[in-house]
């Protein structure tokens, strides 16, 4: 089932939480000169236009990037670099946030299954872009070279079974690539369906709650980070 389109949610509060954490963790990992691999299981289209029909329909970005207050976090370095290139109405997905912070010798490997999202992603970024199932592709390509690296797992959770599948995937991934820094994003919904997955993952948890909003079921945004780099509390 591929009905989810991130364009409705780009730049919303959950994106700000996830993308700040991503930029923060990458800024820590890129302090060391040794090259790294950035990999993503569910990459999305990479670049969004906050004036297009999808973003305008939900207006979610207004409560996210529309309200975000500039500070000295590396998230703004990434956003500024993308907007310098694509304009002030552009909002980067996680692949472009990552690309803005990666160095010349680093690798960027992205999985996206939706044909139109994949085509847009391949257009937006100069990286290794695969049209294949994220879990299957990431396992097949792990461990990558360089082995130092970060895996972002950001499924759409359209099916309740994706929570258990994500926990199973991370277990299998770490068996093949034990040193990977792993970040798993999840929505905080009224029925707390993420609880078993978060317990099974067992990493460092970082959650943020959103002010109540008419018509939005999601109450907050969560991340689990495994093999978190030293200093992660500061960037979160
Ligand atoms: C939440 S969005 C990703 C957003 C992106 N990580 C970001 O922060 O900008 C989830 C994406 O996963 C894609 N997707 C759904 N099922 C997939 C699968 N089995 N393998 C790879 N991608 C999938 C969807 O098309 C959608 O673009």
Number of domains in the chain: 1
183 phi and psi, to 5 degrees? Answer: -120, 125
User: Within a domain: residue 149?
Assistant: yes
Residue 153 CB partners (closer than 8 Å, separation 6+): 40, 41, 42, 134, 166, 169, 170, 182, 183, 184, 185
Q: Measuring CA to CA, how many Å separate 194 from each of 18, 58, 135, 153?
A: 16, 24, 18, 14
**CB neighbours of residue 92 within 10 Å:** 27
Sort strands 149-153 and 37-40 into parallel, antiparallel or unpaired.
Answer: parallel
Report CA(173)–ligand 1 centroid distance (Å): 18
User: Within a domain: residue 114?
Assistant: yes
User: Within a domain: residue 127?
Assistant: yes
Predicted pLDDT of residue 151: 98
The boundaries of the domain holding residue 99 are 6-235
Measured from the Cα of 48, ligand 1's closest atom is 9
- How large is the angle between the packed helices 74-86 and 94-101, nearest 10 degrees? 100
CATH code for the domain in which residue 169 is found: 3.40.50.150
Predicted pLDDT of residue 20: 98
Supply the residue whose CA is at minimum distance from atom 25 of ligand 1.
114
- CA neighbor of 99 nearest in space, from 107, 111, 91: 107
User: Within a domain: residue 41?
Assistant: yes
Q: Name all residues whose Cβ lies below 6 A of ligand 1.
A: 2, 4, 6, 15, 18, 42-44, 93-94, 111-114, 117, 133-134, 154, 156
User: Within a domain: residue 110?
Assistant: yes
User: Within a domain: residue 101?
Assistant: yes
Q: Is 191 noted as a catalytic residue in this protein?
A: no
Do residues 103 and 136 lie in contact, with contact meaning Cβ atoms separated by under 8 Å? no
- CA neighbor of 148 nearest in space, from 25, 23, 13, 11: 25
Question: Which of the listed residues 113, 139, 185 should we mutate to test ligand 1's pocket, taking the one with most ligand atoms within 8 A of CB?
Answer: 113
Do residues 109 and 128 lie in contact, with contact meaning Cβ atoms separated by under 8 Å? yes
pLDDT tens digit at each of 236 positions of the chain: 678 999 999 999 999 999 999 999 999 999 999 999 999 999 999 999 999 999 999 999 999 999 999 999 999 999 999 999 999 999 999 999 999 999 999 999 999 999 999 999 999 999 999 999 999 999 999 999 999 999 999 999 999 999 999 999 999 999 999 999 999 999 999 999 999 999 999 999 999 999 877 777 899 999 999 999 999 999 99
CA dihedral 51, 57, 61, 62 (to 10 degrees): 90
User: Within a domain: residue 107?
Assistant: yes
Report CA(220)–ligand 1 centroid distance (Å): 19
User: Within a domain: residue 1?
Assistant: no
Taking the C-alpha atoms of residue 22 and residue 75, their distance in angstroms, rounded to an integer, is 8
Predicted pLDDT of residue 1: 60
Supply the residue whose CA is at minimum distance from atom 3 of ligand 1.
44
Predicted pLDDT of residue 150: 98
Regarding pTM above 0.75, the answer is yes
Supply the residue whose CA is at minimum distance from atom 27 of ligand 1.
44
């Amino acid at each position: 089932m591929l009905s989810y389109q991130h364009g409705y949610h780009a730049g919303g509060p959950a994106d700000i939480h996830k993308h700040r954490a991503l930029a923060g963790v990458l800024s820590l990992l890129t302090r060391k000169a040794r090259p790294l691999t950035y990999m993503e299981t569910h990459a999305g289209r990479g670049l969004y236009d906050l004036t297009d029909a999808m973003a305008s329909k939900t207006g979610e970005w207004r409560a996210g990037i529309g309200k975000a207050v500039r500070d000295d976090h590396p998230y703004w370095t990434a956003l500024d670099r993308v907007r310098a290139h694509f304009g002030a109405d552009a909002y980067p997905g996680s692949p472009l946030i990552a690309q803005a912070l990666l160095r010349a010798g680093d690798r960027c490997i992205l999985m996206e299954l939706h044909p139109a999202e994949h085509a847009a992603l391949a257009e937006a970024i100069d990286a290794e872009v695969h049209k294949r199932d994220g879990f299957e592709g990431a396992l097949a390509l792990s461990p990558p070279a360089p082995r130092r690296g970060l895996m972002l797992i950001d499924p759409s959770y359209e099916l309740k079974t994706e929570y258990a599948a994500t926990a199973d995937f991370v277990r299998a991934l770490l068996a093949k690539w034990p040193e990977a820094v792993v970040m798993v994003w999840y929505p905080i919904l009224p029925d707390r369906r993420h609880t078993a997955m978060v317990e099974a993952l067992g990493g460092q948890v970082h959650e943020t709650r959103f002010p109540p909003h008419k018509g939005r079921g999601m109450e907050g945004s969560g991340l689990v980070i495994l093999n978190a780099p030293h200093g992660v509390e500061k960037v979160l």
